[in-house]
């Protein structure tokens, strides 16, 4: 996945004149903080250089994860047409760009971000996004979000890792109270990120929310450690991205996990592909989370005709409705 052309151009303008040595140093610090999920009271994006390092090395991957999460929610809720958005922990507005790309009905966005540097650069980027009025608020997700107005679409991406786990249930309850139609939470695709999403899921089910994606059911998650639910999206790296990270490959794979919860019941659920499909001789092996709450490995063979042709085009994270003739091994 690549960034939309207007966003790519806006990012390039924001990065003009930056010294590569400074960018490399800031990118290394930022990467370490993200990987270690550092909670020291500081913001990950605490100054302008850190935000520019994010634009270079993290924005493309975060955009890809959020945009793909929105795509899954939109597929489950085909009638959803959000006009307003509330994004918590917005950074430089990554989720705003992803939401506008997914739903062209979006007209107004409220972005809550504690970092003045992220707020400032995000507002500059948003000036290049047509059709949406973006309003920024300097607030922290920890403060209860008093006075924030409801929105059709509420989003929070890569924020929970900065909070203490005990703060998650109350925050999710507050976000759900602000949600008019759909709440989407995205986290890194690590075991810790999955555990946080499970806490979000439990809280939302307790509040009466419908799980729209990725889970095709509201039963307890059937996966147990050391396994965990996550997905991956391949992201194109720019030349500056490769230089900042001393990387040779023109791409990277962003692993993420998300949850989409809706006020309205989603469309008829289909099984979700939980791992890259395994190609065998004349068949495909698919690890599926089924609508009945179980995980199954399904073998789809050429004898299954249309089901096999569909299965060959599937990717990790897609939905699939197996043919009755497919063989299943329940885990």
pLDDT (tens digit, 9 = 90+) per residue, 73-85? 999 999 999 999 9
Contacts of 237 (CB under 8 A, 6+ apart): 60, 245, 247, 249, 250, 251, 252
Res 75: pLDDT: 96
Is the full-model pTM beyond 0.75? Answer: yes
Number of domains composing the chain: 2
Do 133 and 189 lie in one domain? The reply is yes
Enclosing domain of residue 278: 271-330
Q: Given 208, 238, 262, which residue is the final one in a domain? A: 262
pLDDT (tens digit, 9 = 90+) per residue, 90-108? 999 999 999 999 999 999 9
Number of other residues whose CB lies within 10 A of the CB of residue 26: 22
Q: Given 262, 284, 304, which residue is the final one in a domain? A: 262
Do 15 and 85 lie in one domain? The reply is yes
Query: What SS3 state is found at 14?
Result: helix
Pairing of strands 108-112, 133-137: parallel
CA distances from 76 to 24, 79, 186, 265 (A): 40, 9, 17, 9
Let me know: does 106 contact 85? Beta carbons within 8 Å: yes
Do 247 and 281 lie in one domain? The reply is no
Do 123 and 253 lie in one domain? The reply is yes
Hey, which residues does 186 pair with through a beta bridge?
157, 258
Do 245 and 287 lie in one domain? The reply is no
Distance CA 324, CA 326 (A): 6
Q: Is the omega angle on the peptide bond into residue 226 within 30 degrees of 0, that is, cis?
A: yes
Let me know: does 60 contact 233? Beta carbons within 8 Å: no
Do 16 and 124 lie in one domain? The reply is yes
Do 87 and 207 lie in one domain? The reply is yes
Do 247 and 298 lie in one domain? The reply is no
Query: What SS3 state is found at 42?
Result: coil
- Tell me, what CATH number does 12's domain have? 3.40.50.150
- pLDDT of 224 higher than 80: yes
User: Percent of the chain beyond pLDDT 90?
Assistant: 62
Do 127 and 188 lie in one domain? The reply is yes
Do 166 and 302 lie in one domain? The reply is no
Q: Given 242, 262, 282, which residue is the final one in a domain? A: 262
Do 228 and 284 lie in one domain? The reply is no
């Amino acid at each position: 996945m690549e960034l939309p052309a207007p966003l790519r151009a806006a990012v390039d303008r924001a990065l003009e004149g930056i010294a590569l040595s400074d960018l490399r140093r800031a990118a290394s610090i930022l990467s370490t903080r993200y990987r270690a999920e550092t909670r020291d009271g500081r913001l990950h994006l605490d100054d302008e250089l850190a935000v520019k390092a994010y634009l270079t090395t993290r924005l493309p991957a975060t955009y890809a994860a959020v945009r793909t999460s929105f795509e899954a929610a939109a597929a489950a809720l085909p009638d959803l047409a959000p006009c307003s958005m509330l994004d918590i922990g917005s950074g430089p507005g990554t989720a705003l760009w992803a939401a506008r790309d997914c739903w062209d009905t979006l007209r107004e966005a409220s972005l809550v971000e504690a970092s003045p540097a992220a707020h400032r650069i995000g507002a500059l980027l948003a000036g290049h996004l047509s059709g949406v009025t973006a309003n920024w608020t300097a607030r922290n997700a920890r403060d209860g979000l008093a006075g924030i107005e409801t929105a059709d679409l509420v989003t929070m991406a890569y924020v929970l890792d900065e909070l203490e786990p005990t703060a998650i249930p109350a925050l999710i309850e507050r976000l759900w109270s602000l949600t008019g139609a759909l709440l989407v939470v995205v986290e890194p695709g690590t075991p810790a990120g999955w555990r946080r999403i499970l806490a979000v899921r439990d809280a939302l089910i307790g509040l009466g929310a419908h799980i729209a994606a990725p889970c095709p059911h509201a039963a307890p998650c059937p996966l147990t450690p050391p396994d965990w639910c996550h997905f991956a999206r391949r992201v194109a790296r720019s030349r500056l991205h490769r230089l900042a990270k001393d990387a040779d490959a023109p791409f990277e794979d962003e692993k993420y996990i998300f949850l989409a919860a809706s006020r309205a019941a989603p469309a008829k659920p289909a099984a979700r592909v939980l791992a890259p499909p395994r190609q065998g001789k004349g068949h495909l092996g698919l690890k599926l989370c089924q609508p009945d709450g179980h995980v199954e490995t399904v073998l789809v063979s050429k004898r299954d005709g249309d089901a096999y042709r569909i299965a060959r085009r599937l990717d990790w994270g897609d939905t699939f409705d197996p043919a009755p003739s497919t063989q299943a091994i329940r885990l």
